Amino acid sequence: MKTILVTGGAGFIGSHTVVELQQSGYDVVIADNLYNSDIEVLDKIEEITGKKPHFIKVDLSKTKECNLVFETYNIDGIINFAAFKAVGESCSMPIEYYKNNMNILLNLLDNMKRRDINYIVHSSSCTVYGEPDSLPIKEESPTKKAESPYGNTKQMAEEVLSFVVQATDINAIALRYFNPIGAHSSAKIGELPRGVPNNLMPFITQTAIGKRKELVVFGDDYPTKDGTCIRDYIHVVDLAKAHIVALNRLFENKNKKPLEFFNIGTGNGFSVLDVIKSFEKTSNTKLNYKIGPRRKGDVIEIWADTSFAEKLLGWKAQKTLDEMTLSAWNWEKALSKK
């Protein structure tokens, strides 16, 4: 049985990926500092899979703490989720963002090189593309100047990987996520935003449950079908599954290059109002929302060309927007009962 280190494995995407890994027969070690997650997630993972993952509480941006993980466990491959991820916060705390996100990756790569661990799946983001010139966006599209330090750390991480794979035996796959939303069908794990959510889906569910007064739709004067921004929303379980497929590709040496990039989206663009409508339908509630001004830094529209992931990974997202909004709602309701 292969042992996979999942950094940030107690977080939103991490926890869903741990479930899929365990259900695919992998042994999992979670390394997480619980900065943006809850220790209870480990019990919930066990309730779903029947197995508690190994857990080590460390700050991976600190070299000694990162080394300790590799001294404690024999690791065969890594999935790296650990990072700060709030776009707005990164603009006011750039140094912390660069230090944290880059040091984590460098500490991991350093251990990989020294210990002959050759496989890593890294979480990247469609934010590396900036405002697209043509849609759907393909992996070979040029990346643009980042709008935020957060986005820049995603670009820099891809560049670091591209040089490291040339100089070492390390093989890497960077998955460029579009907009992950939704929650596990058990409603035992899901997104746990710290404070006021920045992202659309948790803001919607928190408004509907009564934690927030109203949702503000950031602009309805964009050149889109209904004036609101378009994104490629993807169910977090579909996204989690893409990591297993990517990891297997590395273990089976099926990768064509030592560093590959894949878009992980559905290939469909939905507007903010589409998401609200889907939510109102699946939750059978009326959402309190109003139209407000545009948010700085938002791209108008972006969705993925997923043909490369389909062809090479043999992976395709399965779940519909309604399944995403319903599962997010079930998770919010489960949280409110606690």
The whole-angstrom separation of Cα 82 and Cα 22 is 19
CB 306 within 8 A of CB 260: no
Q: Which is nearer to ligand UD1, 118 or 125 (CB)?
A: 125
In terms of CB distance, is 143 or 255 closer to ligand UD1?
Answer: 143
CB of 298 to ligand UD1, least distance (A): 5
Structure-block tokens of residue 285: 């509630």
Residue nearest to ligand UD1 (CB): 229
Q: Which residue, 231 or 319, has its beta carbon nearer to ligand UD1?
A: 231
Cα–Cα distance for residue pair 240/123, rounded to 1 Å: 11
Best CA proximity match to 32, nearest among 50, 51, 52, 5 = 5
Distance of closest approach, residue 323 Cβ to ligand UD1, in angstroms: 18
| Binding residues for ligand UD1 restricted to 211-230, rule: CB under 6 A | 215-218, 229
Catalytic residue among 97, 119, 150, 177: 150
Within 128-157, which residues bind ligand UD1 (CB under 6 A)? 151
Strands in the chain per DSSP E? 3-7, 27-32, 54-57, 77-80, 119-125, 171-177, 179-181, 215-218, 230-231, 233-235, 259-264, 270-271, 289-292
Q: Contact at 8 Å (CB) between 30 and 56? A: yes
CB-based contacts of 250, cutoff 8 Å, min separation 6: 77, 118, 119, 120, 121, 171, 172, 173
Tokens of 274: 């589409």
Strand partners, 270: 231
Binding mask 159-198 for ligand UD1 (x = CB under 6 A): --------------------x------------------x
Answer whether 324's CB lies under 8 Å from 268's CB. Answer: no
Q: Which residue lies nearer to ligand UD1 by CB, 230 or 247?
A: 230
Q: Provide, rounded to whole angstroms, the least separation between the CB of residue 219 and ligand UD1.
A: 7
Q: How far is CA 107 from CA 23, 36, 55, 62, 130, in A?
A: 28, 20, 18, 8, 28
Output the smallest distance, CB 233 to ligand UD1, in A. Answer: 8
Closest distance between ligand UD1 and the C-beta of residue 217, in Å?
A: 4
Q: Which of residues 109-128 bind ligand UD1 (CB under 6 A)?
A: 125, 127
Work out which of 36, 77, 83, 85 binds ligand UD1, going by CB under 6 A: 85
Residue 284 to residues 266, 278, 280, 326, 327: CA-CA distances in angstroms? 25, 10, 5, 10, 13
Query: CB-wise, 112 or 201, nearer to ligand UD1?
Result: 201
Kindly write out the interface string for residues 297-316 of this chain, putting x where it contacts ligand UD1 by CB under 6 A and - elsewhere: xx------------------
Region 238-297 residues binding ligand UD1, contact defined as CB under 6 A:
272, 295, 297
Q: Strand runs (DSSP E) across 193-310, as ranges?
A: 215-218, 230-231, 233-235, 259-264, 270-271, 289-292
177 catalytic? Reply is no
Nearer to ligand UD1, 22 or 278 (CB): 278
- Nearest approach in angstroms of CB 161 to ligand UD1 is 18
The tokens for 88 are 């707005």
Nearer CB in complex with ligand UD1: 75/157:
157
Quick check: 109 and 150 in contact, CB under 8 A?
no
**18, 45, 200, 208: which one binds ligand UD1 (CB under 6 A):** 200
Q: Which spans of this chain sit near ligand UD1 (rule: CB under 6 A)?
A: 85, 87, 125, 127, 151, 179, 198-200, 203, 215-218, 229, 231, 272, 295, 297-298
Residues designated as active site = 150
